[in-house]
Amino acid sequence: MAPYASNDLRLLTESVRRFAEKELAPHADELDREERLAPGIFKRLGDLGILGLTVPQQFGGAGLGAVALVSVMEEMSYADPGTCLSYLAHSLLFAHNLAVTGSPDQLRRYLPDVISGQLVGAFAMTEPSAGSDVLSMQTRAVLQGDHYVLNGTKMFITNGPVADVFLVCARTGDDRKDISMFIVERSMRGFSAGNRLNKMGMRASPTSELVFKDCRVPIENRVGAEGESVKTMMKNLDIERVGLAAMSLGIARACLDISLKYASEREQFGQAIVSFQSVSEKIANMYIGYRAARALVYEAAQVIDENRRANQEAATAKVFATEMATQTALDAIQVMGGYGYIRQFPVERLMRDAKLLEIGGGASGILRSVIVKEFMRKLHPKADHSKTDHAKAEQSRVAASVKPVGQ
């Protein structure tokens, strides 16, 4: 079980595990093949009580923290990472962000139905030419009377084809950091979602572009003060990154279990292949990597729950866990040989799912820069690194401009 877990957290994790075994795992391959979300899944997750884990109880949430979120997301991803990705976009990127930044009226209007699963949520930040360098976004919101008029395009938006309500980031001035956040409903005039994007992995999680063409959004749907969303956006990236790292734990654990079972049963030259050093070494390394990543992920979650700055811990956990999951999936395929390469066994799907997590929520190259930046901040707390940070962002934009997970 998860470190720091109380009895209540253990019971929550076990209930999610049972749900995932029954409701998700048997359908994961079918959902991947057909590129669709499980019908009614958000209502069922709402009934389970996990759509608002980090949301205050007065709005229907559980009032828990990042450690609980990590535990739940590991169990869901063990069964079906694609469904878990849509869960992350709904419960973390929308519900958590709104709970942290929204007005009391906005929370009353939207959170109860989002937490029950009556409404599906999504978060829209990434654009066709603004991924890792999110502050270069071009979508613009102009105040006209009692409405903002939004124009622009968002790309790689998880839940885009199915969401009822979106948190949308848009530029409200000419300064690079003059960005605001808005609640946009699917029914608002001038909003449209493009065709579903055909992805290599996470195919059970629907993804699309969003288009805003003179989309009129009431002024009361602006979240927070105008031009003040950057700080909130960046702070909430930490818990998103820890959530994505937790998904990697579930994928790695599934690959380990599948390949260990196969290697124990498969015989060649008169003995189980797990007895061959080349195979046993891979399995041992899978386990070592999983346990090391798990320690990093839960440590970062604990730092967040203690309301301490977690930039470095979250970035470290995500880089290590996501790269570990991809390598573990590749090793599982190698252990299983030809059987690992065909779709009758899930490790090829898990490998495809794992790769996205190295990209979304901050690509690994960008996050390594974040880790070093934190060292520099601690060494020189009064220094102004803004020019250096801007230069790094510009240099990396072409090479790492896609940040598709839910944003």
Question: 121 near 89, Cβ under 8 Å?
Answer: yes
Extract the tokens encoding 118: 């009556």
Which residues, including other chains, have CB under 8 Å from residue 144's CB and lie 6 or more apart? none
For 307, what's the count of Cα atoms within 13 Å in the CB-facing half-sphere? 2
Extract the tokens encoding 220: 């009361």
The CA–CA distances, whole Å, from 25 to 30, 38, 93 equal 10, 11, 24
Q: Report the distance separating Cα 367 and Cα 249, nearest Å.
A: 18
DSSP letter string over 291-357? HHHHHHHHHHHHHHHTT---HHHHHHHHHHHHHHHHHHHHHHHHHHTHHHHSTTSTHHHHHHHHHHH
Q: Report the distance separating Cα 114 and Cα 346, nearest Å.
A: 31
Instruction: State phi, psi for 157 to the nearest 5 degrees.
Output: -95, 110
| Other CB atoms within 10 Å distance of the CB of residue 374 | 17
Question: 246 near 290, Cβ under 8 Å?
Answer: no
Q: Report the distance separating Cα 182 and Cα 103, nearest Å.
A: 12
Catalytic machinery residues: 240
Distance from CA of residue 34 to its chain's centroid?
22
Q: Report the distance separating Cα 279 and Cα 257, nearest Å.
A: 14
Closest CA to 99 of 72, 65, 70: 65
What is residue 101's DSSP assignment? H
Residues belonging to the chain: 407
The CA–CA distances, whole Å, from 240 to 85, 243, 247, 406 equal 11, 5, 11, 10
Question: 191 near 209, Cβ under 8 Å?
Answer: no
Coil/strand/helix, residue 14: helix
